[in-house]
Amino acid sequence: MWELIYKNRQKLSSVQGRWFSDPIEGYITHLKFEGYSNKTLQGYAKVLVNFASFAEEQGTCKTDQLYEWVEPFSEHNLNPLSKERDLKIITRFLGYLQETGVVPKAKTKTRAFSSTLSQYEVFLREIRGLKPNTVAEQISYCSKFLRYLRDSGVTRVRSINQDLIERFIVAEGSRYARKTMVNKCAALRKFLSYLHSKGRIRIDLSAVIAVPRLYKHERCPRFLNRAEIEHVLASIDRGSATGKRDYAMLLLLATYGLRSAEVVHLSLDDIDWRTNKLYIRKRKPGNSSVYPLSGTVGNAIIDYLKNGRPQKGYRSLFLSHNAPHKPFKSPSVVREAAKRYMHLAGFDVVSVGAHIFRYSCAQRLFEDDFRLKIIGDYLGHRDLDTTRRYMKIDIKHLREVALNDGEDLL
């Protein structure tokens, strides 16, 4: 394997004789088996050799001593882009060594006020009966608040005061939209009320937090018309394997108004080629939908399956084109693809993601005079109020009114 990385014999012999050569070579061999290209393997190996050599210069001679030199090595690299890449490579390498038992797992940093957080987590899960995902989200934000307190010099929960809370909220408000801050403020208010109920703080400080006010239908959804959708789809290079996959994903968004998570979770078993049916299971409201598989969508998926999809044993429809070619864990890949191709098509992509295709699908059905109930069923909504939020502008009728007004003026 080292012969693949180093052509220079002198350099090759110097690396092979070092204490770190065996674990690095084992990791590179593992990546080779996972399907990584030779060029990628060379890049990984050089980063890891440089990291291990740096650690050796500091007196390290054992693999389990590498942890303490990760941050110093990253600071040693002055290029921000290279620093981020190198950190990912080293972190994955150390994770592999942990999984294979070569080194013990690194000790995790203790959370700020960990005992308080643990008790609150039990309260949310066992007393409030919240779902695991909701508990995790609330604990994560409360943990962020407590870290802020610790960094501000607070060592006791009883020392929390109005000034600290307001400063934290102001700092957070500069990072998030008002709609996002509503949920974050609500989580923090509940946490402060809990602390007061348990006698951890003297007064209930939850009233200190002013939740941003939202107005019903205050923002009009952004959408693209048919010609604009076609323009975005035409910007995709369908000659590449990645382009074939992205074209199929965005076509599913545009045709059926699917959510990005629904596209990511599609399985090969969700397509019935005999009856030309597409099944969307376990949607956000808990329901399922069945769509007729259009010829355009079907042909795009077939092209991807035959000429683009990595030949792996996974049942997930869409796979990563980077080794080790696994199913996607997050719908962010669909959102990023939507942003990328909208940018290539010349559209402003600030704060716009995959959901614009869902809004566009709803608007198209609305302009074609489909009833609200039918549109809601098509989008997989259970509540018509949800569908109404999509229908804020009747473009077709506005145009008719504008034309009529123009004729009257004449």
Hey, is 175 helix, strand or coil? coil
What is the spatial distance between Cα 253 and Cα 247, in angstroms, rounded to a whole number?
10
What is the spatial distance between Cα 298 and Cα 304, in angstroms, rounded to a whole number?
10
- φ, ψ for residue 285 (rounded to 5)? -80, 0
Instruction: Give the distance, in angstroms, between the CA of residue 236 and the centroid of all CA atoms in the same chain.
Output: 22
For 270-323, give the DSSP string.
GEETTTTEEEE-S-TTS--EEEE--HHHHHHHHHHHHHTS---S--BS-B-SST
Q: Which residues are catalytic?
A: 259, 284, 355, 358, 381, 390
Q: Which long-range contacts (CB under 8 A, 24 or more apart) does 151-155 make?
A: none
Query: Look-up: residue for tokens 């390498």?
Result: 93
Contact 322, 280 (CB under 8 A): no
Classify strands 289-292 and 277-280 as parallel, antiparallel or unpaired.
Answer: antiparallel
Helix 332-344 and helix 226-234, axial crossing angle in degrees, nearest 10: 100
What is the spatial distance between Cα 220 and Cα 398, in angstroms, rounded to a whole number?
15
What is the spatial distance between Cα 384 and Cα 204, in angstroms, rounded to a whole number?
38
Instruction: Give the distance, in angstroms, between the CA of residue 225 and the centroid of all CA atoms in the same chain.
Output: 27
Please report which helix (H) or strand (E) contains residue 202, including its range. none
Query: Across the strands, what pairs with 143?
Result: none
Closest CA to 38 of 11, 12, 2: 2
What is the spatial distance between Cα 336 and Cα 264, in angstroms, rounded to a whole number?
12
Contact 88, 70 (CB under 8 A): no
